[in-house]
Amino acid sequence: MIIVTGAAGFIGSCLISKLNQENFNFIIAVDDFSYPEKEANLVGKRIQERVDREDFFDWLDQNYQEVEFIFHIGARTDTTEFDRQIFEHLNVEYSKQIWNRCIDYQIPLVYASSAATYGLGELGYDDNESLIPQLKPLNPYGDSKNEFDIWVLEQERKPFFWAGLKFFNVYGPNEYHKGRMASVIFHAYHQIKKSGQMKLFRSHNPDFADGEQMRDFVYVKDVIEVCSFLMHHRRNSGIYNLGSGKARTFLDLAKNTFYALDLEPQIGFIDTPADIRDKYQYFTQANMSKLRSIGYEKHFHSLEDGIADYVTNYLSKGQYL
């Protein structure tokens, strides 16, 4: 029996697909199931039971003996939300309760951290655990993720295997419900289909030309491969980066979305919204050597290959993973 929190969300639902492919069918899906727009993410998946997020700890206290692994993917991920109490409840305190039960019940744990913890990247993008207390995230979401990482590293008692994954810019199927928080590729596709052109954020940083802002975009299929590897590996506990390891420009992203639609690029620029302009990351790139050092050898999709697969096989067909 495997528990996935955030099961109806983007990465959680893709992870369930991967687990089903590996013949893990006793999945306990934990989420707030009151959002009908997320329901399609779970259609056709083999799930043993759905458990409401707020009922989960009572459920686990009664059923822990059957649980083999927990993937704690669920979180409030809205980077424009500034109510710190929401993040404290859902991203920090909730995660601490899962951590402590994994210790008490001897359950291995993989949980979602975030590259948002790196802030402007003043200290680089190395998953060196000694640097984590010095990181300066740019918003309450990033703060909450870093606060939990710091707390984890301070704990004397730990699950016998645990891993925190700092997700970089994840894109791919099953993000239809995410609205403003969906990936740039998702928004590019819909903009291009609607208007034949794509508007990117103008640079407000003299070190970067318009469209030359760079991010580490990682395909969700690669993310779930790493999750599966860690579930089987169960050694080398720690906090790991999870990106492609290669920063790419937003211009590259936009052009490849046009190419996937067999269209000539038509790209313009608009000002970055004022509410995020001062907290905008101009460069992110995951150092992936730590994950590689513990034996992860699989290839990551290039931006070209990831966008081509996403646009052709999912967005253009309205398909889910």
Q: Which residue, 212, 221, 211, is CA-closest to 171?
A: 221
* 8 A C-beta contact, residue 318 and residue 193: no
Question: Tokens 């601490």 label which residue?
Answer: 96
d(CA 285, CA 218): 10
Number of C-alpha atoms within 13 angstroms, CB side, residue 28? 22
Binding site feature residues? 10-11, 31-32, 38, 53, 73-77, 145, 169-170, 178, 180, 187, 201-204, 215, 280
Pairing mode of beta strands 69-72, 169-171: unpaired
Question: Is 296 annotated in the active site?
Answer: no
Give CA–CA dist 70/111, Å, rounded.
8
Q: Tell me how far CA of residue 281 lies from CA of 23, 130, 160, 193, in angstroms.
A: 39, 22, 35, 27
In the set 94, 141, 310, 314, the catalytic residue is: 141
* Residue positions forming the annotated binding site for NADP(+): 10-11, 31-32, 38, 53, 73-77, 145, 170, 178
Q: Which among 231, 287, 235 has a CA at the least distance from the CA of 111?
A: 231
Task: Using alpha carbons, select from 145, 200, 201, 198 the residue that is nearest to residue 168.
Answer: 145
Residue with tokens 């991920």: 77
**Cα–Cα distance, 260 to 256 (Å, whole number):** 6
141 is catalytic: yes
Candidates 136, 158, 178, 279; catalytic one: 178
133, amino acid identity: P
Which residue numbers are catalytic? 141, 178
